[in-house]
Structure 1
Amino acid sequence: MAAVAERVFSGVQPTGNLHLGNYLGAIKRFVALQETHDCLYCVVDLHAITVWQDPEELKRHTREVTAAFIACGIDPKAHIVFNQSQVSGHAELAWIFNCVARMGWLSRMTQFKEKAGKDRENVSLGLFAYPSLMAADILLYRATHVPVGEDQKQHLELTRDIAQKFNVDFAASIAANGLGDAYFPLTEPLIAGPATRVMSLRDGSKKMSKSDPSDFSRINLTDDADAIAGKVRKAKTDPEPLPSEEAGLKARPEADNLVGIYAALVDGSRQSVLDQFGGGQFSTFKSALVDLAVAKLGPIGAEMKRLMDDPGAIDAILIDGADRARVIADRTIADVKDIVGMVRRG
């Protein structure tokens, strides 16, 4: 892949049940970024195993995420689509970053606190060190930008801290190896769009999640038209008409969520949706949202199912992507080993 000024890296965990939140918050944006950036999109299976995964389910979910990437419009020939474990540089660089990052930094990660809960002594070391691996994922390709949701901003800030500390700690060696004043970029977040955080269809105060016991809380990317329509119609609302101004959504989380979903699906703003539907009954708006969601998401689910019927073809895409990613990764690992002072093959 030719070098370009800006490179995007992002990943999705293969933990099953990809839903509308994954699509609007991440994958839809991945597709758009193909037009402006050199992109690497990774199925992060090493991250998935920070909690126990059934081996056969992990394989299936890895292929499912890959199928979702392609069904949504990512071009695996123009860009790189691969699974993390096929490129050993992720684990190698993560270890070096484990030796750069500080325990205090990782201890402050709010996602670790939330996932570990009160049983911190019994969670895996991998779950604690997860953000260090995330930093390695990004910096292995010296990515300049990462599309992230609000809940991942803290991890990207840690990535920047690790990059900065590495550059400072090894400044003399970086210069001595002819690699400039700083080796790793301070990666910038890409946070945009009207629905970067999609909430549950049953509770507008909670994020849409595959772990919610109610399947009616989310729209899965594999749902057919009937399932999509039923879930939108049953989505929680309030008895008031839609407001005409966006400020009127602030105390109405379910209305705000549905308006945000509509806006994201049409690449518009919440206010543009309210200009069209404000003052009208929720039933009218929901009918329009049903038609829109079915039109946008139905074909994605159908294409995912078609792709999943040929796992060998999906595996071939991942192997090709990993081979191309490895070319970039191996150069970074060689440079980092020289910077750190490790003896290696020439």
Structure 2
Amino acid sequence: MALPCRNNLKFLFRFLLKSNYWERSFCAAVSPENKNPPGSGRVFSGIQPTGVPHLGNYLGALENWVSLQNQYPSVLYSIVDLHSITQPQDPAQLRNNILNMAASLLACGINPEKAILFQQSQVSEHSELSWILGCLTSMPRLRHLPQWKMKSKQKNEGSVGLYTYPVLQAADILLYKSTHVPVGEDQVQHLELAQDLARIFNYRYGDVFPEAHALLGSTRKVKSLRDPSAKMSKSDTQTMATISITDSPDDIALKIRRAVTDFTSEVTFDPETRPGVSNLVTIHAAMATISVEEAVLQAKGLDTGAYKALVSEAVIQRLTPIREEFQRLRADRAHLQNLLELGNRRARELAAPVLAEVRHKVGLS
């Protein structure tokens, strides 16, 4: 061991007292007040290349990503392929998924002239910073993160990569001195780890990293079409449960037609007692860019069967141009690879001087 456990604990205790950690920790993650007003700072976020995004991904994250690239002067979006290999991956399929994700993001509206779109593994500074930060992270801190508990229980065990991937996630954020990170509510604790590591590093070695603030995403939760008690998921074994952003109009109409509702024909919005119908109302409102109240008003006089046709129309109208653009981009593999390589170079230009600064502070150079 590089440092005895007792020394680590003493250091951590001194750090908590001096940094006023307990008062600052949660507030820093979700407070709307921060040092960087909208229109300044740097945004970073990442997405795993685990297949073409579905409707929940689009409404919960990607739609917001497109908006953020127009609000901030510096925006980075990473296809985080290193995170994806914490689960077994077929190498050929992974290569294909990386290009599929790049095409999906571009088709959804990510503009490589406004945002740096890049492949995480092609910027080696991510891995080196992750190791350095891992040496500042206690095992109990990682053990209590909810996703480790959930995923390790599902597998009855977990890999070292799965255990430490929140540290890599923190490195992804800190490497670019990011000031804002769009996250869902289930990711706030992982952002808190990045904030903690920024404070610990700065306290031990001198100021380098800002503490990134959460940009909490949409509160719209798109549920499975077959089980409205669960989130829509790419890993769902029921093909009728999930709408992909590249689904054909016929597939979209069929999936919505078979969506689980209930025995009441009137359309109302009550997620607690009518989750299936309420899920359709949420989807309709989001895709038609109207309020939930307006969606319910448009459904007046329709039974759930007729309303499903209205929902299908809104989804098809919104996703058709995305599907067509995805197909156009995917037909030109060389163009996609060139766009990613350009993004990789731009990301490395930002990452290299930060890692050089970190290496010097730590004593590695």
Q: Does the CA-based 8 Å contact 2:43-2:180 persist in structure 1?
A: yes
Identity value in percent: 44
Q: Aligned AA for 1:11?
A: G
Q: Does the CA-based 8 Å contact 1:131-1:155 persist in structure 2?
A: yes
Which structure 2 residue ranges, 5 or more long, are not aligned?
A: 1-38
* 1:325 corresponds to: 347
Q: Cα deviations across residues 81-116 of structure 1 (Å, max 9, x unaligned)? A: 111011011101111110112111100111112111
Q: Distance in 2 between matches of 1:142 and 1:29?
A: 21
Figure out how many residues of one structure are paired with residues of the other and give that number: 325
Q: Which moved more, 1:271-280 or 1:46-55?
A: 271-280
1:50 matched to 2:86? The reply is yes
Q: Distance in 1 between matches of 2:212 and 2:300?
A: 40
Q: Cα deviations across residues 128-167 of structure 1 (Å, max 9, x unaligned)? A: 0010001111111111111112222221122112222222
Q: Distance in 1 between matches of 2:154 and 2:255?
A: 34
* 1:235 corresponds to: 259
Deviation at 1:51, TM superposition (A): 1.4
* 1:253 corresponds to: 275
Q: Distance in 2 between matches of 1:32 and 1:50?
A: 30
Q: Distance in 2 between matches of 1:41 and 1:158?
A: 20
* 2:320 corresponds to: 298
Deviation at 1:270, TM superposition (A): 2.4
Q: For 1:100, which of 136, 154, 177 is the aligned residue?
A: 136
Q: Distance in 1 between matches of 2:75 and 2:291?
A: 26
TM-score by length of 1: 0.89
Q: Cα deviations across residues 263-310 of structure 1 (Å, max 9, x unaligned)? A: 222334323323433574223332211111001112212221221111
Instruction: Evaluate the alpha carbon distance shift between residue 255 and residue 169 of structure 1 in structure 2; reply closer, same or farther with a 3 A threshold.
Output: farther
Q: Aligned AA for 1:50?
A: T
Q: Distance in 2 between matches of 1:314 and 1:63?
A: 7
Map 1:195-214 → 2, pairs under 5 A: 195=220, 197-214=221-238
Q: Cα deviations across residues 183-229 of structure 1 (Å, max 9, x unaligned)? A: 2222112223352x321110111111111111100001221111111
* 1:177 corresponds to: none
Instruction: Evaluate the alpha carbon distance shift between residue 141 and residue 267 of structure 1 in structure 2; reply closer, same or farther with a 3 A threshold.
Output: farther
Q: Does the CA-based 8 Å contact 1:30-1:74 persist in structure 2?
A: yes
* 2:148 corresponds to: 112
Q: Which moved more, 1:124-133 or 1:255-264?
A: 255-264
* 2:32 corresponds to: none
TM-score by length of 2: 0.85
* 1:144 corresponds to: 179
Deviation at 1:231, TM superposition (A): 0.8
Map 1:165-244 → 2, pairs under 5 A: 165-170=200-205, 174=206, 182-195=207-220, 197-240=221-264, 241-243=266-268
SS at match of 1:8: strand
SS at match of 1:117: helix
Q: For 2:169, which of 134, 149, 160 is the aligned residue?
A: 134
Instruction: Evaluate the alpha carbon distance shift between residue 74 and residue 200 of structure 1 in structure 2; reply closer, same or farther with a 3 A threshold.
Output: same
Q: Distance in 1 between matches of 2:63 and 2:293?
A: 21
Q: Distance in 2 between matches of 1:249 and 1:148?
A: 23
Q: Distance in 1 between matches of 2:317 and 2:76?
A: 28
Q: Distance in 2 between matches of 1:267 and 1:164?
A: 40
Which structure 1 residue ranges, 5 or more long, are not aligned?
A: 175-181
Q: Cα deviations across residues 217-256 of structure 1 (Å, max 9, x unaligned)? A: 000122111111111111111122223xx5x333222222
* 1:285 corresponds to: 307
Q: Which moved more, 1:253-262 or 1:314-323?
A: 253-262
Deviation at 1:5, TM superposition (A): 2.7
SS at match of 1:10: strand
* 2:116 corresponds to: 80
Q: Does the CA-based 8 Å contact 1:232-1:286 persist in structure 2?
A: yes
Instruction: Evaluate the alpha carbon distance shift between residue 103 and residue 283 of structure 1 in structure 2; reply closer, same or farther with a 3 A threshold.
Output: same
Instruction: Evaluate the alpha carbon distance shift between residue 287 and residue 221 of structure 1 in structure 2; reply closer, same or farther with a 3 A threshold.
Output: same
Q: Distance in 1 between matches of 2:132 and 2:287?
A: 41
Q: Distance in 2 between matches of 1:118 and 1:26?
A: 25
Instruction: Evaluate the alpha carbon distance shift between residue 68 and residue 282 of structure 1 in structure 2; reply closer, same or farther with a 3 A threshold.
Output: same
Q: Aligned AA for 1:94?
A: S
Q: Distance in 2 between matches of 1:120 and 1:106?
A: 17
Q: For 1:153, which of 188, 205, 208 is the aligned residue?
A: 188
Deviation at 1:314, TM superposition (A): 0.6
Q: Does the CA-based 8 Å contact 1:193-1:264 persist in structure 2?
A: no
Instruction: Evaluate the alpha carbon distance shift between residue 301 and residue 238 of structure 1 in structure 2; reply closer, same or farther with a 3 A threshold.
Output: same
